[in-house]
Structure 1
């Protein structure tokens, strides 16, 4: 059995994984964000309370591991930042630890049991609180030892002139300006709408307004799609993904995903007679599913 954790800044979710199709959620507890000993003790308690002693631990976390140093950056769990996290947890838990970024785990889940089944290359897209992603090739993460592959939302690539519309280079939380994350995440969409129309409106209202034909929302969404389509087309031309599965809050609008799919397919070299960008199928606990797939695959690889 693999004990799986999906760790965010608010809660730690737990599941026991016996096989890819046998993953059993076990509940959630608050995340100790500022106290590493308390954080490690929380994971040890889950190990102690498991139905049987696990072979290893697999973790999905909202952070990044530097592939050169092994040190973590986890913005919403400060006690983990700067630590060689896999090494520390392996020592503190007394078990082998497999760990991946939450977007990577989402991509793994989609590749293994979601919309990416049967495709050699799967790109998992996050469109929600942030713009991010993960890359899976032949069932394996590109980010085998941590890293930044798939983080297409960061970098100063957002268009600033679209037709007669001139946009500012919006500042991004990563420290750069002009990132897609700053203008195409849920908050970014709201920022874009406020800039265009001088009106504060949440992203769900903007999307529903667009679906109902409201003119201001329609203009916002048209620019939002245009901002994303070019960079996503470049990503597709580079990766050759057979499918791009979208998760995150904005993916709940199938019409929005379909509009983005049409815009991207019109810009890529390969011609598809089917959708390329589709809603994710692992709607419930993709972090736990991805962590389970990661742990089970690493166990199999080590046994071979």
Structure 2
């Protein structure tokens, strides 16, 4: 089998090792606008690795029984039956899984959530996503959607009256007040601009917060409270034992510790150890998760015969 992590800029690919890890064997630029070029790139990697199964991790929503997929960052895939169309074009078995689901699966098997019964993997970076793993298996919801906590107008923009002059933040999905619009890196930047009338990058805001800057501290206080509130609903509803974090936020353990402390004050369960933790496989979760998806597919196929 060949595993792929397909992003808007690069396609990374590799073959699973005996321990479940996947070592990158190559990468090529993603031909986002050309279906034929994308198929050729995937087929070449499968030929190179002598693979009969292609397991793909990429951002998007993929109906489990086929149908139109939502793949915003790769236009040539958007609206297609990605799994079916690729299988027919490549002449091999193709498995397609959301990248946040792959991250959650990788963390549940080999990362920070290893051996935990219920895992919610949270991606917090340029966007916000998530995946649910129960007893080592992905929870695949209706329409292929589960764990997508980034969208839906669920946030109180005034933060319980603490921010009475705050306007709802617009999200790329067309709604206002989505977690993705507030808790992504761009969301942090929008909050800082709104609170302080100062345009800074999320990296600079975080740097200034660590240095004790008052404006950055206010932004981080609001940002982490939004995140903790949002995650507390997931904890009380789903009951995950742990929430590994991937994306850009995974490189900021101090920020994650702050979110975890706030969350544990909000939830009903009494956790004796951290719930929100940095993921161990943020950089390679897509490839590793795609490998686990393929391995589980083969196992289920063998069990059914």
Structure 2 counterpart SS, 1:29: strand
Structure 2 counterpart SS, 1:57: strand
**Structure 2: segments with no counterpart, 5+ residues:** none
Alignment partner of 1:133 is 2:148: no
Structure 2 counterpart SS, 1:191: helix
Partner of 1:164: 162
Partner of 1:152: 149
1:145/1:35 Cα in 2 relative to 1: closer, same or farther (>3 Å)? farther
CA RMSD of aligned residues (A): 1.5
| 1:93-119 C-alpha deviation (Å, 9 max, x unpaired) | 222111101111111110110011011
Normalised by the size of structure 2, how large is the TM-score? Answer: 0.95
Q: How does 1:1-304 map to 2 (within 5 A)?
A: 2-50=1-49, 53-67=50-64, 69-143=66-140, 147-162=144-159, 163-166=161-164, 167-304=166-303
CA distance in 2 between counterparts of 1:122 and 1:165 reads: 33
| 1:103-161 C-alpha deviation (Å, 9 max, x unpaired) | 11111110110011011111001110011111111111112786221111111111222
1:297/1:20 Cα in 2 relative to 1: closer, same or farther (>3 Å)? farther
Q: Is the 8 A contact 1:72 1:83 kept in 2?
A: yes
CA distance in 1 between counterparts of 2:228 and 2:284 reads: 28
1:48/1:5 Cα in 2 relative to 1: closer, same or farther (>3 Å)? same
Q: Is the 8 A contact 2:124 2:246 kept in 1?
A: yes
CA distance in 1 between counterparts of 2:85 and 2:287 reads: 21
**Structure 1: segments with no counterpart, 5+ residues:** none
Q: Is the 8 A contact 1:127 1:246 kept in 2?
A: yes
CA distance in 1 between counterparts of 2:58 and 2:238 reads: 24
CA distance in 1 between counterparts of 2:21 and 2:234 reads: 33
Higher share of residues assigned strand:
1
Shift of 1:19: 3.2
1:20/1:87 Cα in 2 relative to 1: closer, same or farther (>3 Å)? farther
